[in-house]
């Protein structure tokens, strides 16, 4: 239980309400994460309001200005469905002097731009796939890349823009995919070497110091050979896809020295991108292709590559972050309270 009851306002994007209404019209039952968090906060004894963020920024600013809560629980992953505006909600909270959970506007900006993230990984000696970026025909950066390549929007999250055609194996497929990304998502294309390997998620919780959570693996090992082993949008959100049979597990075969280094790298990445309260680091892990190579990614015959870092990761009780927290000994209400405590015990 918390030390004291707080007045907390949950902020989330109006498009979530719209998606829920659409799902209910189709006969589906859906519970929003905001509703799940609200239920837990009430059970913990906090006083809870909800504020639905709409794209009208003047209206949103006015409602935030009039909010007298002690803490904003920020669940806004977009504004009006535009994920690039996620950091603007945090920025609005900052300039109004509001205390809120999760990443700052700066942390959200650094994490959302996957090319900038990789440059920060380079500065901190963290391994990542070689990459290039292209925007409207202009190449902003280009490593010497080898096929197969993985092409996705540079500034999206939740696997938006990632499907079975995201892996390209020749120049024709590459050009077609870049064109698709730029026309469909109005986003620069991030082109990186595809790392064939295991899909690993490492949650990080808290601030002083941040604490790594048990490693979660999305186990694709028993998937049919023709299905790409990637966390595509279908894999995450389509319950009828072939990925529904791929379990999320706590891997037992990762050597302790490798497990420890993965945890260390996750903490370094979390700090490098200026995250706070909670976050998740996505990694590709595999047996080393060159056991004689000595670099930051190669340990005891294994190597890993940081793919991206997720600020304010999805807090659904069955999702990877809460799953890892539970394995760590934190039930969902305890996890939510830990996030609140982290936000309350640091400077605004």
Residue 185: give the domain boundaries.
131-193
What would the mean pLDDT of 51-62 be, rounded to a whole number?
95
Q: Which residues contact 166 (CB under 8 A, 6 or more apart)?
A: 150, 151, 152, 177, 228, 230, 232
As a whole number, the mean pLDDT across the chain is 91
Residue 234 has pLDDT above 70, yes or no: no
Residue located via tokens 């949650």 = 203
Per-residue pLDDT tens digits for 129-156: 999 999 887 888 889 999 999 999 988 7
| Torsion angle, alpha carbons of 147, 150, 151, 154, to 10 | -130
**How far, rounded to the nearest angstrom, does the alpha carbon of residue 78 sit from its chain's CA centroid?**
13
Bridge partners of residue 139, in order along the sequence:
134
Share of the chain above pLDDT 70, in %: 94
Bridge partners of residue 90, in order along the sequence:
none
Same domain, 237 and 326: yes
pLDDT of residue 72: 98
Residue located via tokens 């409207």 = 136
CA–CA distance from 249 to each of 116, 218, 243, 304 (Å)? 30, 6, 14, 18
Of all helices (H) and strands (E), which one includes residue 225?
none
Q: Which of 85-99, 176-190, 286-300 has the highest mean pLDDT?
A: 85-99
Tallying the residues shown for the chain, one arrives at: 348
pLDDT of residue 111: 96
Distance (Å, whole) CA 325 – CA 211: 11
Same domain, 180 and 205: no
Candidate from 229-243, 255-269, 302-316, 333-347 with smallest mean pLDDT: 229-243
Residue 173 has pLDDT above 60, yes or no: yes
Residue 245 has pLDDT above 50, yes or no: yes
Distance (Å, whole) CA 250 – CA 323: 10
Overall domain count for the chain:
3
Same domain, 278 and 246: yes
Which stretches does DSSP call E strand in 194-343? 198-205, 211-212, 216-218, 248-249, 278-287, 298-299, 302-311
Residue 295 has pLDDT above 60, yes or no: no
Same domain, 155 and 264: no
Residue 166 has pLDDT above 70, yes or no: yes
Q: Two tokens at 177? A: 């995919």
pLDDT of residue 171: 95
Share of the chain above pLDDT 90, in %: 74
pLDDT of residue 22: 87
Q: Which residues contact 315 (CB under 8 A, 6 or more apart)?
A: 33, 36, 37, 75, 321, 322, 336
CATH number of the domain to which 286 belongs: 3.30.470.20
Distance (Å, whole) CA 151 – CA 165: 9
What would the mean pLDDT of 151-166 be, rounded to a whole number?
80
Q: Which residues contact 62 (CB under 8 A, 6 or more apart)?
A: none
Per-residue pLDDT tens digits for 204-232: 999 999 999 999 999 998 888 888 887 77
Same domain, 32 and 118: no
pLDDT of residue 296: 54
Backbone angles phi, psi at 217, to 5 degrees: -120, 130
- For 258-284, give the DSSP string: HHHHHHHHHHHHHHHTT--SEEEEEEE
Q: Two tokens at 203? A: 């949650």
pLDDT of residue 150: 94
Q: What is the pTM of this model?
A: 0.93
Which pLDDT band, with edges at 50, 70 and 90, does 285 fall under?
very high
User: Is residue 105 in some structural domain?
Assistant: no
Distance (Å, whole) CA 41 – CA 218: 29
Same domain, 251 and 287: yes
Pairing of strands 298-299, 211-212: unpaired
Which pLDDT band, with edges at 50, 70 and 90, does 30 fall under?
confident
pLDDT of residue 162: 81
Final residue belonging to a domain, choices 159, 193, 227: 193
Q: Are 50 and 13 in contact (CB under 8 A)?
A: no
Distance (Å, whole) CA 141 – CA 135: 10
Per-residue pLDDT tens digits for 179-211: 999 888 888 899 999 999 999 999 999 999 999
What would the mean pLDDT of 100-128 be, rounded to a whole number?
96
What would the mean pLDDT of 113-129 be, rounded to a whole number?
96
Same domain, 308 and 189: no
- State the CB neighbour count (10 A cutoff) for residue 218: 20
pLDDT of residue 223: 85
Q: Are 133 and 191 in contact (CB under 8 A)?
A: yes
pLDDT of residue 294: 45
Same domain, 255 and 175: no
Q: Are 147 and 216 in contact (CB under 8 A)?
A: no
User: Is residue 1 in some structural domain?
Assistant: no
Of all helices (H) and strands (E), which one includes residue 332?
helix 332-344
Residue 293 has pLDDT above 60, yes or no: no
Q: Two tokens at 284? A: 């590709």
Final residue belonging to a domain, choices 175, 193, 211: 193
pLDDT of residue 290: 64
Distance (Å, whole) CA 227 – CA 245: 12
């Amino acid at each position: 239980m918390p030390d004291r009851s707080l007045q907390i306002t949950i902020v989330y994007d109006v498009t979530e309400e719209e998606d829920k209404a659409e799902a209910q019209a189709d006969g589906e039952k859906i519970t929003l994460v905001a509703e799940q968090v609200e239920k837990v906060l009430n059970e913990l004894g906090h006083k809870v309001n909800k504020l639905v963020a709409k794209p009208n920024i003047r209206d949103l600013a006015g409602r935030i200005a009039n909010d007298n809560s002690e803490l904003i629980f920020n669940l806004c992953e977009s504004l009006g469905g535009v994920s690039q505006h996620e950091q603007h909600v945090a920025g609005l909270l900052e300039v109004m002097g509001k205390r809120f959970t999760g990443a700052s506007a700066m942390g959200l900006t650094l994490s959302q731009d996957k090319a900038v993230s990789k440059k920060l990984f380079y500065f901190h000696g963290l391994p990542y796939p070689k990459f290039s970026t292209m925007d409207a025909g202009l190449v902003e950066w280009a490593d010497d890349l080898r096929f197969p390549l993985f092409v996705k929007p540079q500034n999206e999250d939740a696997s938006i823009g990632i499907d079975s055609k995201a892996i390209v194996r020749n120049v024709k497929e590459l050009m077609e995919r870049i064109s698709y990304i730029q026309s469909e998502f109005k986003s620069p294309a991030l082109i990186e070497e595809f790392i064939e390997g295991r899909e690993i998620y490492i949650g990080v919780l808290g601030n002083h110091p941040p604490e790594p959570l048990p490693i979660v693996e999305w186990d694709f090992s028993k998937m049919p050979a023709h299905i790409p082993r990637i966390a595509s949008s279908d894999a995450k959100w389509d319950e009828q896809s072939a990925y529904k049979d791929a379990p999320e597990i706590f891997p037992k075969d990762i050597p302790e020295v490798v497990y420890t280094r993965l945890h260390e790298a996750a903490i370094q990445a979390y700090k490098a991108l200026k995250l706070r309260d909670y976050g998740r680091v996505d990694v590709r892990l595999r047996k080393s292709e060159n056991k004689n190579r000595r670099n930051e990614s190669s340990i005891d015959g294994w190597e890993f590559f940081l793919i991206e870092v997720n600020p304010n990761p999805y807090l659904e009780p069955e999702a990877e972050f809460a799953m890892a927290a539970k394995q760590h000994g934190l039930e969902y209400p305890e996890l939510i309270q830990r996030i609140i405590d982290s936000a309350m015990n640091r400077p605004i």
